[in-house]
A and B are shown apart, each in its own frame.
Chain A
Amino acid sequence: MSEALEMTATITLAEATQFIWAEADLLDRLDYKPWLKLWTEGGKYIIPTERDPADYAEVLNIVYDNKVMREARAKRLLSGFSMSSAPPARTVRTVSRFVVTASGYDFIELRAAQMLAEYKYGHMRFLPADMRYRIVRAPDGALLLDEKIVTLINAEDYQFGIGYLL
């Protein structure tokens, strides 16, 4: 393999960070249509109800979305007919404390921290979470989400209704 190809294929932390920040920005702006395009065909968006299950597919999650479910979810949130998201809460999130946990020719895996503040009807709520990302490079060079796991700090405890994406 030529050196040049390898350099374009490897995903640097800086690239991954920029990608994750752009994703966070889309979500805070409720810009779900371009967000749907950030995913691989088989990508999984998971928000668990336990800290570290052996297999997410075999346990109950808050969200366990494949492509079809993500599309349905975005459609629901944008429809204007869902009482909990019309009007939606305002959110501001930051993602930081990145640690690369694995990387290879065309992928990178990271963990990170997300601090999200939600505001609606006079309530201010905080939803801190541990994040895990698997990001891959598509043949056209773009980065795509292959897995995003949002483990809320209180994943196993009670939540309030959440009418937006984490």
Chain B
Amino acid sequence: MSDHDYATLVREDRVHTSLYRDGTIFDEEMDRIFKNTWVWVAHESDVPVKNSFKTSWVGREPVIVTRDREMKVNVLLNRCRHRAASVCEKKKGKASVFVCPYHGWSYDPDGTLRKVPHAAGYPEDFDKSEFPLISLRVETYQGMIFATFNNDIEPLVDYLGPARKWMDLFMKQGAGYGVKTLGEHKFRFPGNWKIQLENTTDAYHFPIVHKTFLDSLDAETENVFDVLGQGGWVEDLGNGHSVMVMIPDLIDLEDNLDAPIPDRFAELAQELRDEGHDDATVRKVVRAVGGSGFNLNLFPNVACSMAFFRVLRPVTVEETEIMHVAIGMDGGPAAGNRERLRLHEHFQGPMGFGTPDDAEGWERVQRGAHAGEDLWIMLNRGVDAPAGVAEPGHNAGDVSAETGMRAAYQQWKRMMTA
């Protein structure tokens, strides 16, 4: 138990700076939040066929996401039951068996302990079934795989609640082909994980921090990214989840398919026509390629952000790893996926036109947070609900409001004081 009174550290419109700095609070967050709720670990396309796997994390604990012979997805602690060696150090691949490199215990993709070398050395009552790789509870929605250490919490679909509608909309960027991961950028910044969590629904910073990204676009595209000027909004979806709609015109990618094709996609459209795709498909693919017009933040560690998954992993109280997963059309036209990759590279990653500036901002927050003894982080921006856009009854504000952060910190408070 800690002697912190967490309830007093989160108010309606501000949170205490110790939430970024205090190692005791961090340790408690790992237990009370990351070991206690649904944590994103992978997308189903990361483990597309039987015996495929990907290594990942739940909080600070390394796991292996596997697809077993029955095509069931498993999330296994990456720790041999003998003397704890990690059994897999590859990022992803295929394996019908995981052999621990230390003494050779071998495990099936569903975690079953298959064989123990020189088994004769063990007592007669040694029972292999008592030593499988530890399995977490796993559930998926819209291809996103979540795991939890807590067997008693509500089903994933209930936890997601109204966020599901936005996940459904987000996956329309598969243009009917479905969504698959195309690669990822990973980077770290010296700062607390909640600084990143806040950022995904922070449109207030966009025109300032991302000025040089905006300057690199053509005029038509720059208008599209005028995120503060298009009547967008931020909405609290419950359980700490929130959505920030930046480009209302791009909420539903199956709408407005007759709209003129933007200049920046003219070349792609021609390439698709040349490949023999009909006009309807060309329009659908082109509209999907640009991504959705909103960021959906799912508490605590993943966002569906315009055209990619944004995953955070707390490393220490003052270090966080971020993964921006590029996604594309599963089985869709190669030209469309190539365009997605180039767009991703333009903004994302350690040398993108956007990410390093975000990372610099977050680092500055952490550095600045060391000044002062008893100061607060303000989240008081935007109190008026915008008219007629959010779900009736939902807490919502205009696009630059800090509603999403307030939603996340209220969930933080619920979980930390439960």
**A residues touching B (Cβ–Cβ < 8 Å)?**
47, 49, 57-64, 69, 72-73, 75-76, 79, 81-85, 121, 123, 156-163, 166
Contact A159 B187 (CB under 8 A): yes
Q: Find residues 340-362 in chain B having any chain A CB closer than 8 Å to their own CB.
A: 341-342, 344-346, 349-351, 353, 355-357, 359-361
Nearest CB in chain A to that of B328: its residue: A60
Smallest distance from the beta carbon of B317 to chain A beta carbons, Å? 18
Q: Find residues 297-318 in chain B having any chain A CB closer than 8 Å to their own CB.
A: none
Contact B360 A83 (CB under 8 A): yes
A60-B326, A83-B360 known; A75 vs B216 contact (CB < 8 Å)? yes
Determine the chain B residues whose CB is within 8 A of the CB of A83 once the complex forms.
209, 357, 360-361, 364
Q: Which of B186, B189, B190, B341 contacts A157 (CB 8 A)?
A: B186
B182 an interface residue at 8 Å Cβ cutoff? yes
CA distance A162 to B348 in the complex (A): 12
Q: Summarize B's interface: helix, strand, loop or mixed.
A: helix
Contact A61 B91 (CB under 8 A): no
Q: Which of A47, A123, A158 contacts B351 (CB 8 A)?
A: A47
Q: Which of B189, B209, B215, B349 contacts A76 (CB 8 A)?
A: B215
A59-B341, A62-B351, A76-B216 known; A162 vs B356 contact (CB < 8 Å)? yes
B334 an interface residue at 8 Å Cβ cutoff? yes
Nearest CB in chain B to that of A48: its residue: B183
Contact A84 B187 (CB under 8 A): no
Contact B345 A58 (CB under 8 A): no
Q: Find residues 150-203 in chain B having any chain A CB closer than 8 Å to their own CB.
A: 182-190
Contact B187 A160 (CB under 8 A): yes
Determine the chain B residues whose CB is within 8 A of the CB of A82 once the complex forms.
211-212, 356-357
Contact B184 A49 (CB under 8 A): yes
Smallest distance from the beta carbon of A49 to chain B beta carbons, Å? 6
A-B contacts, 11 of them at CB < 8 A, read A49-B184, A59-B183, A59-B341, A60-B182, A79-B211, A83-B209, A83-B364, A85-B356, A160-B187, A161-B189, A162-B350
CA distance A61 to B351 in the complex (A): 10
Smallest distance from the beta carbon of B164 to chain A beta carbons, Å? 28
Contact A64 B359 (CB under 8 A): no
Nearest CB in chain B to that of A163: its residue: B356
Query: What is the total number of residues of chain B having a CB less than 8 Å from a CB of chain A?
Result: 38
Contact A84 B360 (CB under 8 A): yes
Contact B183 A49 (CB under 8 A): yes
CA distance A72 to B212 in the complex (A): 9
Determine the chain B residues whose CB is within 8 A of the CB of A49 once the complex forms.
183-185, 349
Determine the chain B residues whose CB is within 8 A of the CB of A76 once the complex forms.
212-213, 215-216, 353
CA distance A159 to B321 in the complex (A): 9
Contact B346 A58 (CB under 8 A): no
CA distance A85 to B355 in the complex (A): 12
Nearest CB in chain B to that of A58: its residue: B338
Determine the chain A residues whose CB is within 8 A of the CB of B344 once the complex forms.
60
A-B residue pairs, 7 tightest by C-beta: A60-B183, A161-B356, A161-B359, A84-B356, A159-B350, A158-B186, A84-B360
Smallest distance from the beta carbon of A105 to chain B beta carbons, Å? 32
Contact B334 A84 (CB under 8 A): no
Q: Which of B189, B345, B357 contacts A62 (CB 8 A)?
A: B345
Nearest CB in chain A to that of B341: its residue: A60
Contact B212 A79 (CB under 8 A): yes
Most buried by A among B189, B212, B360: B212
Determine the chain A residues whose CB is within 8 A of the CB of B103 once the complex forms.
none
Contact B359 A84 (CB under 8 A): yes
Contact A161 B360 (CB under 8 A): yes
Contact A64 B345 (CB under 8 A): yes
Contact B360 A163 (CB under 8 A): yes
Further contacts, 17 of them, CB under 8 A, given A60-B326, A83-B357, A160-B188: A49-B183, A49-B185, A60-B182, A62-B349, A81-B211, A81-B212, A82-B357, A83-B360, A83-B361, A121-B363, A157-B186, A158-B321, A161-B189, A161-B359, A161-B363, A162-B351, A163-B360
